Amino acid sequence: MPFQNAVLTGACGGLGQALARRLIAGGARVALVGLQRDALDKLAALAPARCAVYTPDVSDAAAMRAVAADWLPRFGAPDLVIANAGVAGGFDTAEPDDLRVMRRMLEINLLGVATTFSPFLAPMRDSGRRGALVGVASIAGWRGMPGNGAYCASKAGLITYLQSLRAELRPTRLRVHTVSPGYLRTALTAGNRFAMPGLLEPDEAASALLAGVAGGEEHIVLPRRVGWLSRALGLLPARLHDRILLGQPRKPRAGEPGATDIPGLK
């Protein structure tokens, strides 16, 4: 494991837990950030001297600065920050209540990545060591899908933000990595009622993600074959592409059976 000091958000979820276990097993010091204290405590118990647990709202800049203010003096500047926290859910522009879903999704999926990176970026840069900033986006950010506009928009925005940050940090020893998973077997996809080609287990995805970052890949697609399928569909005329997607069941909206929880939704 080339990483010795890691900050990981979304550590409670399927991919997050798989990443945490691999980092801990590799001997890294790990800041475990999430909302489910019990799940985080179980992970920290694997290496109590090398882990710390934090439960902020990742979209709260002050809360994330408090995480950094506790972690940095105790463990030093990280060489890996993975902004993995994210939420998903169906969206219908005609439903006024769904606008709050879009707002919250943008806060967590997009703003939450910037608030995660922000307090660690200068210490990482000033350390003079190599470091990696990893944003977990999605193949859904490559093109909008019917009934999933909020999620697709949040991930498309994240991909573009990471492009900007990558360019800004070229002169430094820090690298920015964009991860675009397809479908992972996690709570976020458990309620999906449509076909999920290439469904990947979280542990397999975690292994490929860390290997890709260690190998210097700036764009990591999980799994690659789903990325190829998505690119191929994108070559179709827009009307035909949309017709194919409209034939699929839509992702459950907040409050519908199978919908995933969106923390902080007001």
**H-state helical runs in the chain:** 14-25, 37-44, 61-75, 98-106, 112-127, 149-168, 202-214, 224-234, 238-246
CA atoms of 126 and 242, how far apart (whole Å): 47
> Which of the residues 54, 151, 161, 183 is marked catalytic?
151
Q: At what angle do helices 14-25 and 202-214 cross, to 10 degrees?
A: 60
**Is 183 one of the annotated active-site residues of the chain?**
no
Contact between 148 and 250 under an 8 Å Cβ cutoff? The reply is yes
Helix (H, G, I), strand (E, B) or coil at 190: coil
Alpha carbons within 13 angstroms on the beta-carbon side of residue 153 total 17
CA atoms of 253 and 63, how far apart (whole Å): 28
CA atoms of 84 and 186, how far apart (whole Å): 13
Q: At what angle do helices 238-246 and 224-234 cross, to 10 degrees?
A: 120
CA atoms of 39 and 22, how far apart (whole Å): 16
Adjacent-strand bridge partners of 174: 131
CA angle 120, 67, 50 (to 5 degrees): 90
Active-site positions read: 151
